[in-house]
Homo-oligomer: A and B are copies of this chain.
Amino acid sequence: TMSYSTPASSSNLVFRQLFEKESSTYTYLLADASHPDKPALLIDPVDKMVDRDISLIQELGLKLIYAMNTHVHADHVTGTGLLKKKVPGVKSVISTASGSKADLHVEPGDKIYIGDFFLEVRATPGHTSGCVTYVTGEGSGQPQPRMAFTGDALLIRGCGRTDFQGGSSQQLYNSVHSQIFTLPKDTLLYPAHDYRGFTVTTVGEEMQYNPRLTKDEDTFKSIMENLKLAYPKMIDIAVPANMVCGLQDVEAKAS
């Protein structure tokens, strides 16, 4: 039976999905409104949208603690560097496996707390070797249904490419099946991108309708090997910048 997309509910959760049109990137804001500080985090911020994000955070009276990435993006420059410059005290977060610079390196199983809410880190390599999925906690007081921020591992009715940045179709297949499809079927999945105007999906939906990941592993690998995608436009700028939290460090090095 189908799992529906009832939005996650918790009276204290502040949640916003934000979009950047040029790279079709979603950034996510989460905060705990019950805590006196109203601590907040951003997942996959985009450099040129940082002023929008900061102004929203200020208007909502939140305190930004973490600026996190699901992986080293090849299609846009992360906002983490600019956020660290503009909002004192913000810590950048990325997986150890990404090999990139950050204030805080996370490992599978780690929990990142904002107030009473936490995100659990799951390793979902395959699009890049350092990709992680951040999943809201289990248990009372945590958002129900759970929410998973899948980066480019799982997209809505799709998945990220596996032909660059240490990508591997076999790894991606195993990551999605072992780390994402094992979540409750009503878990809301929020990807780093969507190119057709979808905003959210569920585990149940993707298990039933994902045109790639519902196939067996060999078929999946052959689909991924035959995509014949163009060389990513932004990769030569974005990857080096993102390896050091954002563009401004690269500029400093170049000068």
A250 beta carbon closer than 8 Å to chain B: no
Interface residue tally on A, bucketed by range: 35 or more
| Chain B residues in 8 Å Cβ range of A197 | 18-21, 27, 49, 52
A7 beta carbon closer than 8 Å to chain B: yes
| Chain B residues in 8 Å Cβ range of A21 | 21, 24, 197
Complex: chain B residue closest to A14, CB-CB: B4
A232-246 interface with B by 8 A CB criterion:
none
| Chain B residues in 8 Å Cβ range of A15 | 5-7
A8 to B5 Cα, complex, angstroms: 11
A208 beta carbon closer than 8 Å to chain B: yes
| Chain B residues in 8 Å Cβ range of A87 | none
Report whether A199 and B19 are in contact in the complex, using a CB–CB cutoff of 8 Å.
Answer: yes
C-beta contact mask, A45-58 vs B, less than 8 Å → 1, else 0?
A: 00001001000100
A13 beta carbon closer than 8 Å to chain B: yes
C-beta contact mask, A195-230 vs B, less than 8 Å → 1, else 0?
A: 011111000010011000000000000000000000
